[in-house]
Amino acid sequence: MTTRAGQTTSRLPHVEAPAGRVSTGHGDLTPQLVDTDVWSDDLLARAGIPVVDVPFVTVGGGIGSFVLADYLRVMGVPAESIRVLSNLDRPWQTYEHLTRVSQIPGPERIRSDSQSMPDNLWGFPSYAMREAVAERSLKPVWNVLSEPVLSNYYTPRVSQVFRGMQREHDRIGFGDMLVKGTVRMVRRRHGGGYFTILTPPAGTTATKRVAYRSRFVHLAVGYAGLKFLPDLQRYRSDTGDHHRVVNAYEGHEHVYREVAARPCTVVIRGSGIVASRVLQRLIDDRDRLGTDVRIVHLFRTYVAGAHGRSIFMRRPGGHGWAHQGFNYPKSAWGGQLKARMRRLEGEKRADLYEQIGGTQTPIRKNWQEQLRRGRKAGWYQAISGEAQLVRAHGNRLSMTLTPKPSGGSGGPDRFAIGGNPVEVGCDFVIDCTGLEADIAEHRVIGDLLGHSGAGRNPVNRLDVERTFEVRGTRTDGSRLYASGAATLGGYFPGVDTFLGLQIAAQEIADDLARQGFCKRLGPVRSIRQWWRWVGGRRP
């Protein structure tokens, strides 16, 4: 079935209850199923839940599922052997929403390496080379060759990323593998394998649930959710005001409209890439539209200069910001840091994560210039401290801030008021801290932790092996894998990045090849498949 924009989606396959068994249920989960850790075929039959047999199931349907499905198709797995269970229409749908609301429109550049390409597992030709050809310019190539000494790191435009994924989506027949619905849980099966319970869209099936019985399951469900800082959450819960206190990852275009219409003070909280983008949007509008906006930027941790535990692990910083080109040092994806992390266990691994982690943002010359102008003119002020209270005063908000020392010398960009609390009035608060909910708040992962033997790693995320198999969930001859944000803290850092998802997919695909599920991607097959990719032909 073909939809708009050339996308294809598959109808839910015909399913029926196992033969020879009498159904006494109504096609829904029963208390016995919910309370039982390992299911038999008979339990599902008695509940009246139809079963679909397919060798491989991936849950989530986002970029993590897309990249692994791409690997498996290239490694010889037919589309009919893969099912993608998702409530998304296209793999980049969630990411596209997040980039849009966090002020990264199509022409802007995202924080990703030139060779980190979800649509091209070979990484060649890179984004920079493709851009150079499309624009008939050597500037992108020179950018890559001279980074980061003479140029900022090259990063691709978000529209280029989506176009590439659309092309590969169509090439591998991703729409033929997609089954729409919401996954409720994954449970182990007596005799090996897993049952994945899907709730299809209302009215599309005769029963409320459908079970997918498979030998292999992959989870790529993204973040469990976002959390506000405690004082902001308290204010929203008490007042129901979602208009003046917003998260940068939720729609908040109304803030920019009101700032354009009248003088406003906006408080920004956070110091990562999203805070950088929100600041750029506010300042771009100030320059372009002449808005009268005052920006108060609250740093929980103020970085006055280069910092780190040793001279070998330091990142630059200043004016409150910690600077780094990408989420992690580049050696985390294929160098010394990656090799070192794979050898560490327990607290030693958690300690290394603490060293290389933390909030940071790239150095971009235009951002630096904008903030220099703001500091000089006085419409941008940075405060180092903690917010104690948010409350409404008429049509405005009031925040009580307790400044804290930041180290280093003072400067005109800091709110130097000693240690006494101060009241700051504002019209809007934009929370860019990106706090993440506990993984157990995701329904599928929470059920996995409670019923399928899964556990937590040293940083309290989902515990996975070096192959990304979820530790403790193995059944006879079967494997359950996970990749993406839920596995942060494992043997490989940088999991929630384009390149991280690709590396995880490669590890999983190689392990599946060892299980005999797919062919190995040797040199001859790789070259042949790359040529098919170049020509846009099916794997």
* Per-position DSSP letters for 399-434, written without gaps between them: EEEEE---SS---TTB--BTBS-EEEEESEEEE---
Q: How far apart are CA 450 and CA 107, in angstroms?
A: 44
Chain centroid to Cα 278, Å, comes to: 19
Please name the residues in contact with 433: beta carbons below 8 A apart, sequence gap of 6 or more: 229, 269, 270, 272, 300, 359
Count Cβ neighbours within 10 Å for each residue of 368-402 and write b for 16 or more, e otherwise.
eebbeebbeeebbbbbbbebeebeeeeeebebbbe
Q: Which pLDDT belongs to residue 332? A: 83
> For residue 38, what is the DSSP state?
E
Q: Which two tokens stand for residue 28?
A: 């829904």
Count Cβ neighbours within 10 Å for each residue of 155-186 and write b for 16 or more, e otherwise.
bbbbebbbebbbebbbbbbbbbbbbbbebbbb
Cβ 156 vs Cβ 131: under 8 Å:
yes
Residue carrying structure tokens 């299980």: 515
Count Cβ neighbours within 10 Å for each residue of 47-73 and write b for 16 or more, e otherwise.
bbbbbbebbbbbbbbbbbbbbbbbbbb
Cβ 494 vs Cβ 327: under 8 Å:
yes
Element (H, E) at 212: strand 210-214
Please name the residues in contact with 149: beta carbons below 8 A apart, sequence gap of 6 or more: none
Q: Which pLDDT belongs to residue 25? A: 58
Q: How far apart are CA 194 and CA 476, in angstroms?
A: 10
Residue carrying structure tokens 């059920």: 447
Indicate the burial class of 106 (C-beta count within 10 angstroms; 0-12, 13-18, 19 or more). middle
Distances (CA, A) of 31 to 17, 34, 186, 208, 244: 19, 5, 16, 15, 43
Residue carrying structure tokens 């607290």: 347
Q: How far apart are CA 493 and CA 490, in angstroms?
A: 7
Q: Which pLDDT belongs to residue 405? A: 59
Its sign, for the CA torsion 53, 57, 62, 66, is: negative
| Rounded (5°) CA angle 297-99-89 | 150
**Residue type for position 436:** E
Q: How far apart are CA 269 and CA 383, in angstroms?
A: 10
pTM score, whole prediction:
0.90
CB atoms within 10 A of CB 292: 13
> Which backbone phi and psi does 336 adopt, to 5 degrees?
-60, -40
Q: Residue ranges of the chain with pLDDT lower than 70?
A: 1-25, 404-419
> Which backbone phi and psi does 100 adopt, to 5 degrees?
-70, -50
Q: How far apart are CA 369 and CA 363, in angstroms?
A: 11
Q: Which pLDDT belongs to residue 151? A: 86
Closest Cα to residue 213, out of 402, 16, 345, 392?
16
Q: Which two tokens stand for residue 151?
A: 């140029």
> Which backbone phi and psi does 442 adopt, to 5 degrees?
-80, 130
Q: Which pLDDT belongs to residue 371? A: 95
